[in-house]
């Protein structure tokens, strides 16, 4: 079959974008060693940006978003991969300017492709997706910087979002006491199910203030919010604590003071899950399939088909989503 279905976004007028389901042809896909039948994708904040015409993510339209995909190899020009093999692709240029996982076919360079980790089924890999990989990378960075369970509370911001909710699940599984910061008090019970021990209102962290330091509270933090929230998190880190910063939902810009760094020796750890070398991604994926497996993940995941994409992307863009969306391309 050379025809396949995809959700394609078109620039209909200056700065106006519209997505729809279309039939596409494999011949329209870019060059690459592997042609993959996509079984599942997932929805991330970056997909919502791409689907709404954010040129910082996607420069050229028409475009099929979807930064994550799992599927089976239909053909491969690289002998590391064989027909029928289950493979996983996240990040690099997939779904940014390369036709992505919101279509039933992708063609990609072999250097972007990892075998599906053993012990993980395709749907689970996309319940996690880039959000899960990023949560794993944040926690890996904190552990490498010496975080231990008896150091105290670990803060997770943007707690009901994809990265946040999975970070809570992994940290709780590892025995940490997790404090979840959210703008959705009604989701408190869900966050507790994932393993949060306390819920705080994100407004407590989001206001700017001229104070360079706050009382020491957090042993560590995973921050997806950026902006003034990130600076407030840094101000409240305990001596020697670290924050893994991976997101910008409040703002990509933040004003800071060197005082927390030079008086408390705190660390700001940048996390990127997109351009990271494949071997490092695979190391985190195998942890996510093993010791870091989040048992309650399917309870915070909504499965959708291509025809439900538009509404779900709008919910993500407005910050209203709770948990993860799994996109089933076979529905
Ligand atoms: N560095 C990387 O490689 C990497 C990888 C993946 C994601 N990211 C970034 O990480 C961030 C989160 O991604 P995601 O996929 O988890 O997104 P998501 O599912 O949309 O979750 C974001 C969460 O942030 C909170 N939020 C939204 N607007 C906010 C605001 N104005 N101020 C404070 N909090 C707000 C909301 O949670 P509450 O209502 O619970 O507060 C929301 O659910 C994004 O900026 C994304 O681009 C980076």
Tens-place pLDDT, residues 219-234? 999 999 999 999 999 9
Phi, psi of 257 (to 5 degrees): -125, 150
The pLDDT of residue 273 is: 98
pLDDT band at 35 (very low <50, low <70, confident <90, very high): very high
Average pLDDT over residues 188-200: 97
Indicate if ligand 1 lies below 6 Å from the C-beta of 321: yes
For residue 225, report the distance from its CA to the centre of ligand 1, in Å.
Answer: 6
As given in the structure block, the two tokens for residue 106 are 């992708």
Residue 171 is classified by DSSP as H
The pLDDT of residue 262 is: 98
Give percent above pLDDT 70 in the chain.
100
Indicate if ligand 1 lies below 6 Å from the C-beta of 183: yes
Indicate if ligand 1 lies below 6 Å from the C-beta of 250: yes
pLDDT band at 104 (very low <50, low <70, confident <90, very high): very high
Residue 142, pLDDT > 70, answer yes
Domain assignments of the chain as residue spans, ordered by start: 3-116+295-328, 131-270
pTM over 0.95: yes
**Beta carbons within 10 angstroms of residue 293's beta carbon:** 16
Yes or no: say if 140 and 171 are a contact pair by the CB < 8 Å rule.
no
The pLDDT of residue 125 is: 98
Domain 131-270 in CATH: superfamily?
NAD(P)-binding Rossmann-like Domain (3.40.50.720)
Residue 54 is classified by DSSP as -
The pLDDT of residue 1 is: 56
pLDDT band at 210 (very low <50, low <70, confident <90, very high): confident
> Mean of the per-residue pLDDT values for the chain?
97
- Ligand 1, atom 8, lies closest to the CA of 247
In angstroms, the Cα distances linking 71 to 114, 115, 187, 314 are 11, 10, 32, 26
How many whole angstroms separate alpha carbon 134 and alpha carbon 189? 24
Yes or no: say if 221 and 237 are a contact pair by the CB < 8 Å rule.
yes
The pLDDT of residue 76 is: 98
Residue 319, pLDDT > 80, answer yes
Indicate if ligand 1 lies below 6 Å from the C-beta of 42: no
The pLDDT of residue 209 is: 86
Give percent above pLDDT 90 in the chain.
97
Q: Which CATH number fits domain 3-116+295-328: 3.40.1180.10, 3.40.50.300, 3.40.50.620, 3.90.180.10?
A: 3.90.180.10
């Amino acid at each position: 079959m050379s025809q396949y279905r995809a959700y394609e976004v078109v620039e209909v007028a200056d700065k106006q974008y519209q997505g729809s389901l279309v039939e596409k042809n494999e011949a329209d896909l870019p060059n690459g060693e592997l042609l993959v039948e996509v079984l599942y994708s997932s929805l991330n904040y970056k997909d919502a940006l791409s689907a709404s015409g954010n040129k910082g993510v996607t420069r050229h339209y028409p475009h099929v978003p979807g930064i994550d995909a799992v599927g089976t190899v239909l053909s491969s020009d690289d002998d590391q991969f064989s027909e029928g093999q289950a493979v996983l692709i996240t990040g690099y240029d997939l779904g940014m300017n390369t036709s992505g996982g919101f279509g039933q076919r992708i063609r990609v360079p072999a250097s972007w492709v990892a075998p599906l980790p053993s012990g993980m089924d395709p749907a689970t890999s996309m319940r996690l997706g880039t959000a899960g990989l990023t949560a794993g990378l944040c926690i890996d960075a904190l552990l490498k910087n010496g975080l231990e369970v008896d150091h105290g509370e670990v803060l997770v911001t943007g707690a009901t979002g994809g990265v946040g909710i999975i970070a809570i699940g992994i940290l709780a599984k590892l025995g940490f006491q997790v404090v979840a910061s959210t703008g959705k008090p009604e989701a408190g019970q869900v966050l507790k199910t994932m393993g949060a021990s306390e819920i705080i209102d994100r407004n407590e962290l989001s206001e700017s203030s001229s104070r360079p330091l706050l009382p020491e509270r957090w042993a560590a933090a995973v921050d997806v919010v950026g902006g003034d929230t990130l600076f407030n998190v840094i101000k409240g880190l305990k001596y020697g604590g670290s924050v893994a910063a991976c997101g910008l939902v409040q703002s990509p810009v933040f004003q800071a003071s060197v005082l927390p760094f030079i008086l408390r020796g705190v660390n700001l750890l940048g996390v990127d899950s997109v351009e990271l070398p494949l071997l490092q991604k695979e190391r985190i994926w195998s942890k996510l399939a093993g010791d870091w497996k989040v048992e309650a993940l399917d309870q915070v995941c909504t499965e959708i088909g291509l025809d439900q994409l538009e509404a779900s992307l709008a919910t993500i863009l407005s910050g209203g989503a709770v948990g993860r969306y799994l996109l089933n391309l076979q529905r």
